[in-house]
């Protein structure tokens, strides 16, 4: 059967093309569960196999066998609006707010649960990541050609490629892959390199690569070296900005968490995946729901919304000494 007459399987973890006349009870190896992304880890709910690497997550073999299926799973329903506002009218909710003295007993507890702040990936970082990924692929291929220690059946580590190593001839095959990084933002999923957006996770996994090159058989060392970075802060009347000067941060592994009086920054950056971690006990009180993060090519900027438009003397909290 020609390639044009093959059907694409939409079972999670499969995404292979198949001949419907040869579809058997054990033709498809897939995941019956759902993907879970939590605390840097990625896993399938059905087999609980965890990994921090998105590429390794895509390469986790299915835990169930069955028939291939070309039926797309239904998309999750969109949430209904919380309130119905008549056309032409605006609803404004004003909640009473008590002024907070940051050095008094009214100060919120630093032990409040933190929430992860939303982030935006700038165009400069996307370009830097694609260039870095291409350099890494070339360096790893050079190592593979010298070592010759690739096990048969090893999956290609390039994003979007489903090929496996069979013999030395596999090195001559053309790899079709995504040189960019996966972006998950406001319910949409896409690769930074080609920006074909979809809300369906299976459609995202099935997207064909937008670049060609050599296969990447060997996995890069996941050990991360703790590093120090220069950082600075400034403020306006309503926001506090913390800038960490870390070049080429990894959006998959970088995150910022905050509660009303503390912020924890975790940045994985550079080709060697250096790690920067820092906790700040903030001098003032913020609103985490209105705070956000911007990742640029040369820095990560944390934008914290002040709970009240007052000037901070310092970034970090320094309790006032009690008089005896």
Average pLDDT estimate for 128-151: 67
In this prediction, residue 96 carries a pLDDT of 44
Judge if 115-124+223-305 and 151-213 fold alike in CATH terms. no
Q: Supply the pLDDT for residue 38.
A: 73
Question: Which stretch of 110-119, 222-231, 262-271, 286-295 has the lowest confidence by average pLDDT?
Answer: 222-231
Give me the pLDDT at residue 312, please: 94
Identify the band that residue 84 occupies on the pLDDT scale cut at 50, 70 and 90: low
In this structure, is the dihedral angle defined by the CA atoms of residues 167, 223, 119 and 35, taken in order, positive or negative? positive
What kind of architecture, by CATH, is found in domain 151-213? Answer: Irregular (4.10)
Q: Domain residues of the chain, as ranges?
A: 3-66, 115-124+223-305, 151-213
pLDDT of residue 81: 53
Q: Could you tell me if 183 and 54 are in contact, meaning their C-beta atoms sit under 8 angstroms apart?
A: no
What are 49's two structure tokens?
């196999």
Average pLDDT over residues 29-52: 82
Whether the pLDDT of residue 117 is over 90: the answer is yes
Give the model confidence (pLDDT) of 147-163 as tens digits: 457 888 888 888 888 88
Return the closest-CA partner of residue 262 out of 83, 125, 109, 52.
Answer: 109
Q: Does 39 have pLDDT greater than 70?
A: no
**CATH architecture of residue range(s) 115-124+223-305:** Sandwich (2.60)
| CATH value of 3-66 in 3.40.50.300, 4.10.1130.20, 2.40.30.10, 3.30.460.10 | 4.10.1130.20
């Amino acid at each position: 059967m020609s390639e044009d007459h093959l059907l694409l399987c939409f079972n999670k973890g499969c995404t292979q093309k198949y001949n419907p006349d040869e579809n058997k009870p054990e033709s498809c190896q897939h995941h019956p569960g759902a993907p879970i992304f939590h605390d840097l880890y990625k896993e399938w709910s059905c087999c609980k196999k965890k990994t921090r690497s998105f590429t390794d997550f895509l390469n986790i073999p299915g835990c169930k066998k069955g028939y291939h299926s070309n039926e797309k799973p239904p998309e999750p329903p969109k949430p209904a609006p919380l309130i119905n506002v008549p056309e032409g009218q605006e609803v404004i909710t004003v909640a009473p707010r008590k002024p907070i003295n940051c050095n008094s007993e009214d100060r919120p507890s630093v032990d409040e649960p933190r929430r992860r702040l939303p982030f935006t990936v700038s165009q400069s970082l996307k370009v830097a990541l694609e260039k870095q990924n291409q350099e890494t692929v070339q360096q790893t291929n050079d190592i593979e050609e010298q070592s010759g220690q690739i096990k048969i059946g090893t999956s290609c580590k390039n994003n979007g490629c489903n090929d496996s190593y069979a013999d030395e001839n596999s090195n001559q095959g053309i790899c079709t892959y995504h040189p960019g990084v996966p972006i998950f933002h406001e319910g949409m999923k896409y690769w930074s390199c080609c920006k074909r957006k979809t809300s369906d996770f299976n459609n995202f996994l099935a997207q064909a690569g937008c670049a060609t090159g050599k296969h990447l058989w060997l996995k890069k060392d996941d050990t991360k070296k703790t590093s120090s970075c220069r950082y600075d802060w400034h403020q306006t009347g309503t926001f506090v900005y913390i800038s960490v000067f870390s070049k080429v941060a990894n959006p998959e592994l970088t995150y910022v968490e905050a509660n009303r009086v503390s912020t924890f920054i975790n940045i994985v950056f550079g080709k060697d995946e250096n790690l920067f971690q820092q906790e700040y006990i903030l001098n003032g009180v913020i609103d985490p729901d209105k705070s956000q993060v911007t990742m640029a090519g040369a820095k990560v900027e944390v934008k914290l919304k002040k709970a009240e438009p007052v000037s901070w003397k310092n970034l970090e909290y320094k309790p006032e000494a009690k008089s005896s």
